[in-house]
Amino acid sequence: MGKTLYVTDMDGTLLAPDSRVSSESARMITELSKRGALVTVATARTPATVEPLLGETYISLPAIVMTGASLWDRQSKTYIHPQYIEQSIAEQIESLGAKYGINLFQYTLGADGILKVYHKGEMSEQETAFVDEREDLQYKRFCLNHSYENDRLTALFFAMGDRERIFALAEELRRCVNCSVSSYVDIFGEDTGILEVFAPNVSKAEAVKALAKEIDADKIVVFGDNLNDIPMMRVADVAVAVGNALPEVKAIAHEIIGDNATDAVAQYIYDDFK
């Protein structure tokens, strides 16, 4: 039998509406992984939130984190093949953000393996809540209104805010800098735009292809719900949309399953692996 790689997005897909992996999904995926199923996640999240969310879920493969900017080895707690934005480009990105009145979060990684997140200027209520929810996480440190440390490397820029301004900034970034730029609507509020900027050619799709090649998988099954999942769904042999996915995602999917409140992803893998 050939090897099948199962890759699932987290928010809105594997995670239930309460933004947690249900106990039943955790049980099924753990059982499958211990039986040899090749299951992992591909997420915009960093290891700082991936680890606690997958705390009861065993997977044997590295997690694809930061939209493919790195892999994360859950056993050794280390980053694998991180990709960085050149410093001159990072400065240009900051400048363009300021033009649109957007202070970006700059995620940097140093030799200690701790992700430091820099942010300058006042924060909105939404940004403040974002930081407060992550302030005490083990693998992430926020540096608010601190000077950037020169020995650290930028893995990504992140911003949230007014949808129109975020999308306008994203369009200019695509024209002006040689980076991977992702912009999409926040699943928790249609008026909020999300922006992510990575090194060139970084994407969930590229990370999925690289991982499949590394483990010699001959079939890829991908699960998603949002616009930033479409690229990796397009490189899959089987693209599966959850029932709560956006219409654009359902339109390119080979199959549509139950929504993220029903353990549908774990059940699909369980049935397919048998």
pLDDT tens for 36-89 read: 999 999 999 999 999 999 999 999 999 999 999 999 999 999 999 999 999 999
Residue 232, amino acid: M
Q: pTM of whole model > 0.95?
A: no
DSSP 21-43: --HHHHHHHHHHHHTT-EEEEB-
Instruction: Indicate whether 165 and 222 sit together in one domain.
Output: no
CATH number, position 240: 3.40.50.1000
Closest Cα partner for 53 from 61, 62, 71, 41? 41
pLDDT tens for 178-211 read: 999 989 888 667 788 999 999 999 999 999 999 9
pLDDT tens for 105-145 read: 999 987 777 899 999 888 999 899 999 988 888 888 999 98
Single out the residue in 160, 182, 198 at which a domain terminates. Answer: 198
Contacts of 76 (CB under 8 A, 6+ apart): none
Instruction: Indicate whether 102 and 176 sit together in one domain.
Output: yes
Q: Is the pLDDT of residue 270 over 90?
A: yes
Single out the residue in 177, 198, 219 at which a domain terminates. Answer: 198
Instruction: Indicate whether 99 and 187 sit together in one domain.
Output: yes
Tell me the average pLDDT across 10-35: 97
Q: Is the pLDDT of residue 153 over 70?
A: yes
Instruction: Indicate whether 44 and 99 sit together in one domain.
Output: no
- Triad 45, 46, 51: Cα angle to 5°: 100
Domain count, the chain: 2
Structure tokens at 21: 């992996």
CATH number, position 109: 3.30.1240.10
Report the pLDDT value the prediction gives residue 55, as an integer from 0 to 100: 93
Instruction: Indicate whether 13 and 69 sit together in one domain.
Output: yes
Range of the structural domain that residue 137 is part of? 87-198
**CA–CA distances in Å: residue 185 to residues 85, 109, 149, 156, 226:** 24, 27, 31, 18, 8
Structure tokens at 100: 């649109």
Single out the residue in 198, 223, 258 at which a domain terminates. Answer: 198
